[in-house]
Structure formats: C-alpha cells, structure tokens
C-alpha cells in the first residue's frame, strides 16, 4: 500500500516538474488592461519627416484637434474617432469634407461619438495644413 503512495507522489512530482519546465517561458498571470475612456483607438505609425505644410498642420492639430481625435489622429475612446482610419481615406472623405466639418460641424454618421460642433479659431489655411498632416500620416499607415 505504501508503494502505491510513493508511485503516485513520484508521478505527481514528475508531472509538476514537467509543467514548470514547459511553462517557464510564460509571463506571470497578469490581466490585460481594458481600454479606458481617453485611450487611443488605433496604433499610428508616424512618417520620418513631414512637409512644411504638414508641420504647420501638426501644430494646429495638436492645439485644437487632439482633445477629441487623439494624438496624431489615433482617436480617443469616448471623445472622437480616429482620423487615421480607412473611413477618412481621400476617396471617402475628401479634403474639403474636413473644411466643411470645421466650419459647419458634422452630424454623427460613422461613429457613435455624437455630432461634431463647428470649430472656432481655425482659418481655411489652418485646415488645409491639418489635412496635409493627416494625409501624410494616413499614407504611412497604408491609407491612400
């Protein structure tokens, strides 16, 4: 009878050792962080350099657009959609649609963030530069 217990204990020890040996490369049991309000919605790759118009657009975007559309147009969960997204490719939302959205606001139609109000303080030239910035980032991210 004692021999049965020794064999069972040895089998458990071997099985436990094998499990630890096979599992040694895994990470500790850590739960993934759930996305929170304000988190970026998409990962965005940035160009190595920007044109001079896009550089001016970046400054305007950072000052006025980032609060809702996130850094570099990555979107902001709970605030505003990503502009680095296929929905905003030039064939679906042309450059003039950005100008119209800034001047007139836009009714929510692709996303559930609510309506975008008109944006005060941006000139048409500012918007042209913002569009240049967004388009250059879009191209790096495969959005043509």
Distances (CA, A) of 66 to 9, 22, 30, 90, 137: 61, 46, 31, 20, 14
Question: What is d(CA 108, CA 105) in angstroms, rounded to the nearest whole number?
Answer: 10
The domains found in the chain, sorted by start residue, are 52-140 (1.10.760.10)
> From first to last of its 144 residues, what are the pLDDT tens digits of the chain?
545 444 444 444 444 444 434 444 444 455 678 889 999 999 999 999 999 999 999 999 999 999 999 999 999 999 999 999 999 999 999 999 999 999 999 999 999 999 999 999 999 999 999 999 999 999 999 999
What confidence score (pLDDT) does residue 33 get? 80
Q: How big is the chain, counted in residues?
A: 144
Q: Quote the pTM value.
A: 0.76
């Amino acid at each position: 009878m004692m021999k049965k217990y020794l064999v069972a204990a040895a089998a458990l020890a071997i099985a436990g050792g094998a499990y630890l040996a096979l599992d040694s490369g895994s990470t500790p049991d850590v739960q993934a962080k759930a996305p929170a309000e304000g988190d970026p919605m998409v990962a965005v790759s940035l160009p190595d350099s920007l044109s001079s118009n896009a550089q001016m657009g970046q400054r305007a975007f950072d000052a006025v657009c980032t609060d809702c559309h996130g850094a570099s147009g990555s979107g902001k969960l709970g605030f505003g959609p990503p502009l680095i997204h296929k929905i905003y490719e030039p064939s679906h939302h042309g450059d003039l649609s950005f100008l119209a959205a800034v001047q007139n606001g836009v009714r929510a139609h692709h996303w559930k963030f609510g309506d975008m109000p008109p944006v005060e303080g941006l000139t048409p030239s500012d918007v042209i530069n913002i569009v240049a910035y967004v388009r250059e980032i879009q191209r790096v991210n495969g959005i043509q």
